[in-house]
């Protein structure tokens, strides 16, 4: 079978790969799908292909379509809504792609770019050579076969291979000879597949002996009037494989095909789990706004009483998605088997999926210069179990030896360290009452210390708590100060605030301007992620959100705003209000990938089997320790 057939059959049938084809040296016969550009076009790289002109070998062909399109989708660079891949390609490359044949090309492309001579490998390369495209998606041998005097075609005369380069996955560019280290995907050779109980060694030995001792031409189809019959005509030997098909083909190839194979598992509805009445109202408006723009899958809203109930509903297929912060992603992944489908970026870049947890003080509060001097003070937190507002500062206090906590007793330790606090969500049986003492409730004074309901809940709420004098320190994320100062907020409590009036408290005992968060922070924290079941098509989820943010991602205008919760009397509803854009998860396809090994190690060291919520409250001890040490060493 070809590798693509192996992938297709593998979805429904259990089997293994017994042997593969190779050259005379025993190297598997394979090729690399590459992206080729002119060396003179020095500005182009794999990260800025959006809007460029592209040349493809043909629709549904491996090197020119399946691999580059699949790779761009899987890496989060290209989004596809509703599995409409041609439209996704058209949106990504604009009006300037050549994907022969024209009748099945990406919608909106220019027919003049797609004459018949620009079909197949040579045609796609010719499209690039003649200036019709900025990048050509071909196989690794195409450039050499059409340059350096190797082609007699008039358009290929005088072409030099050194005038062309490959685009690498990591953003580099490389000579066309370096395809093994600079390709989009390695395409596996044909494979001999057998039932799982069949002995691969018997199959291999039979075929290997046949090549060596038989006069039968296994690797020639000329006598039968065909090409590549049973075996590839270019092969010379058989090699032993004996493994399952996914490891054989490799994750890059598998993921690229998986990204384009979405028709069968794109859901009609995406049921979003919400946690409050305010979030429910925003969800309903989001569903209506998305429907008016004909975005798919359609949004439905499901109510959950807690984060964990929502996780349980998703696991039980009673809901499909929820946005969680780093403190709960671990629980969602480990306990409920959920995986990330999309992430929040707070910078607008693909690397903006990380933010900094900081401790903020008023500039004129000169009584505090170190974390030790926080003892006996009042504090403001985003919420119990939340990363920047609870997990990180508690971990820092533990790392510095300022608090001692028996396993899973962090609330009691915090209650002893601080005089009084506002920790929304800490109104739980057995928790110290002073953790809620500084909270003020909703606009009517009710729901004091309730998550998502207290006016001091969330990033903006914790900062407001400090601004209004209910706390001397606020544990928030690095962008919170700027979102509520210098005229960036219309809230009455924030309209006259200036960012220069606030300081950051650094782990080394110094203070810094609010702008110095990269060097004065408590930890670098994974951003919030949309978590779903593994059987949910993550590409469909990101495709929906990416398309939606083109219409609703701005905080201006009078319509629905994905990243603004002020209309609903809350903050960070469904998405964090500081989100600039939603991004794909790329290679961070599991909760461990998303959180990182240091984060996971800290959780496993402090594991509390009896309470997943308490687990998250201790989740960044090692991360905070490492971040603090690195900060000190770099200063």
Ligand-binding site membership of 355 (annotated): yes
206-210's contacts with Cβ under 8 Å and 24+ in sequence apart are 207/19, 207/238, 208/237, 208/238
State residue 97's pLDDT score. 76
Which residues does the annotation mark as catalytic? 16, 196
**CA dihedral for 242, 245, 247, 248, sign (positive or negative):** positive
Pair 15, 196: CB distance under 8 Å: yes
Confidence of residue 602 (pLDDT cuts 50, 70, 90): low
Q: How far apart are the first and last CA of the chain?
A: 58
Report the share of the chain in percent with pLDDT over 70: 90
Give the model's confidence band at 50: pLDDT under 50 very low, under 70 low, under 90 confident, else very high.
very high
Secondary structure (H, E, C), 9-76: HHCCCCCEEEEEEECCCCCECCEEEEEEEECCCCCCCHHHCCCCCEEECCCCCHHHHHHHHHHHHHCC
64 is in an annotated binding site: yes
* Residue 63 marked as a ligand binder: yes
d(CA 635, CA 244): 50
Segment 51-106, tens digit of pLDDT: 999 999 988 889 999 999 999 999 999 999 999 999 999 999 976 677 876 434 44
382 annotated ligand-binding residue: yes
**Opening angle at CA 301, ends 579 and 276, nearest 5:** 70
The answer to whether the CB of 300 falls within 8 A of the CB of 272 is: yes
Is 119 annotated among the ligand-binding residues?
A: no
Mean pLDDT of 546-561: 91
Residue 162 known to bind ligand: no
- 528 is an annotated ligand-binding site residue: yes
Residue with tokens 């959950």: 304
Query: With 70 as the cut, is the pLDDT of residue 277 above it?
Result: yes
The reported pLDDT for the residue numbered 630 is 40
Question: What is the pLDDT at residue 608?
Answer: 52
The closest alpha carbon to 438, from 461, 458, 422, 460, belongs to: 422
Q: Are 384 and 426 in contact (CB under 8 A)?
A: yes
Which helix H or strand E contains 98, and what residues bound it? strand 97-98
Which band of pLDDT confidence, cut at 50, 70 and 90, is reported for residue 625? very low
* pLDDT tens for each residue of 121-150: 999 999 999 999 999 999 999 999 999 999
Burial class (CB in 10 A: 0-12, 13-18, 19+), 195: exposed
SS3 call for 239: strand
Are 54 and 95 in contact, with CB atoms under 8 Å apart?
Answer: no
User: Is-contact 280 274, C-beta < 8 A?
Assistant: yes
Residue 599 CB: number of other CB atoms within 10 A?
26
Per-residue pLDDT, averaged over 16-23, amounts to 92
- What is the mean predicted confidence (pLDDT) over 304-327? 94
Q: How many CB atoms lie within 10 A of CB 88?
A: 25
Bridge partners of 529, per DSSP, are: 324, 343
**pLDDT given at position 116:** 53
Q: Write the burial class of residue 400 (CB in 10 Å: 0-12 exposed, 13-18 middle, 19+ buried).
A: middle
Please spell the DSSP secondary structure of 549-611, one letter per residue: HHHH--S-SSS--TT--GGGT-SS-SS-TT--EEE--TT--SHHHHH-HHHHHHHHHT--TT-
31 is in an annotated binding site: yes
Please state, as a whole number, how many other Cβ atoms lie within 10 Å of the Cβ of residue 381.
32
Token pair for residue 487? 């005229």
- Mean pLDDT computed over every residue of the chain: 89
């Amino acid at each position: 079978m070809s590798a693509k057939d192996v992938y297709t059959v593998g979805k429904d049938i259990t089997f293994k790969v017994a042997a593969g084809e190779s050259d005379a040296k025993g190297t598997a016969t394979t090729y690399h799908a590459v992206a080729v550009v002119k060396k003179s076009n020095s500005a182009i790289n794999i990260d800025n292909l959006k809007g460029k002109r592209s040349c493809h070998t043909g629709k549904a062909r491996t090197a020119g379509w399946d691999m580059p399109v699949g790779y761009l989708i899987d890496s989060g660079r290209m989004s596809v809504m509703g599995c409409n891949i041609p439209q996704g390609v058209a949106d990504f490359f604009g009006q300037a792609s050549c994907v022969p044949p024209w009748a099945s090309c990406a919608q909106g492309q220019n027919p003049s770019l797609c004459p018949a001579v620009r079909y197949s490998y040579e045609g796609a390369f010719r499209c690039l050579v003649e200036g019709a495209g900025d990048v050509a998606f071909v196989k690794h041998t195409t450039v050499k076969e059409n340059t350096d005097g190797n082609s007699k075609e008039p358009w290929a005369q005088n072409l030099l291979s050194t005038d062309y380069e490959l685009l690498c996955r990591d953003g580099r560019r490389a000579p066309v000879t370096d395809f093994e280290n600079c390709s989009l995907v390695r395409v596996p050779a044909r494979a001999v597949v057998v039932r799982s109980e069949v002995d691969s060694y018997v199959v291999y030995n039979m075929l290997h002996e046949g090549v060596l001792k038989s006069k039968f031409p296994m690797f020639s189809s000329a006598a039968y009037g065909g090409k590549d019959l049973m075996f590839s005509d270019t092969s010379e030997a058989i090699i032993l494989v004996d493994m399952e098909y996914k490891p054989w083909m490799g994750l890059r190839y598998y993921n690229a095909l998986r990204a384009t194979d979405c028709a069968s598992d794109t859901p009609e509805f995406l049921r979003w789990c919400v946690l409050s009445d305010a979030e429910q109202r925003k969800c309903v408006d989001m569903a209506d706004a998305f429907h008016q723009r004909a975005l798919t899958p359609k949004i439905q809203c499901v109510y959950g009483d807690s984060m964990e109930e929502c996780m349980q509903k998703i696991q039980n297929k009673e809901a499909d998605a929820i946005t969680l912060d780093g403190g709960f992603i671990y629980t969602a992944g480990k306990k409920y088997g959920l995986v990330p489908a999309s992430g929040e970026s707070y910078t607008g870049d693909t690397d903006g999926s990380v933010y900094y947890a900081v401790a903020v003080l008023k500039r004129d509060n000169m009584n505090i210069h170190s974390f030790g001097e926080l003892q006996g003070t009042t504090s403001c937190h985003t919420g119990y179990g939340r990363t920047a507002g609870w997990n990180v500062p508690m971990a820092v206090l533990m790392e510095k030896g300022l608090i001692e906590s028996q396993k899973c007793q962090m609330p009691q330790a915090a209650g002893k360290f601080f005089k009084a606090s506002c920790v929304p969500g800490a109104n739980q049986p057995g928790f110290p009452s002073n953790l809620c003492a500084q909270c003020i409730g909703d606009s009517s004074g009710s729901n004091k210390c309730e998550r998502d309901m207290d006016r001091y809940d969330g990033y903006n709420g914790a900062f407001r708590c400090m601004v209004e004098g209910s706390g001397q320190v606020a544990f928030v994320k690095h962008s919170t100060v700027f979102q509520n100062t210098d005229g960036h907020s219309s809230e009455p409590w924030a309209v006259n605030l200036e960012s220069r009036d606030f300081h950051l408290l650094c782990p080394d005992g110094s203070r810094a301007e609010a702008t110095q968060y990269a060097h004065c922070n408590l930890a670098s924290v994974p951003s919030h992620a949309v978590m779903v079941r593994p059987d949910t098509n993550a590409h469909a989820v990101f495709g929906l959100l990416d398309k939606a943010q083109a219409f609703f991602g701005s905080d201006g205008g009078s319509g629905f705003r994905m990243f603004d919760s002020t209309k609903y009397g809350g903050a960070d509803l469904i998405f964090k209000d500081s989100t600039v854009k939603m991004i794909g998860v790329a290679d961070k396809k599991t909760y461990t990938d998303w959180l990182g090994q240091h984060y996971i190690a800290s959780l496993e060291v402090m594991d509390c089997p009896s309470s997943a919520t308490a687990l998250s409250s201790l989740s960044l001890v090692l991360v905070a320790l490492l971040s603090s040490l690195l900060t000190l060493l770099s200063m």
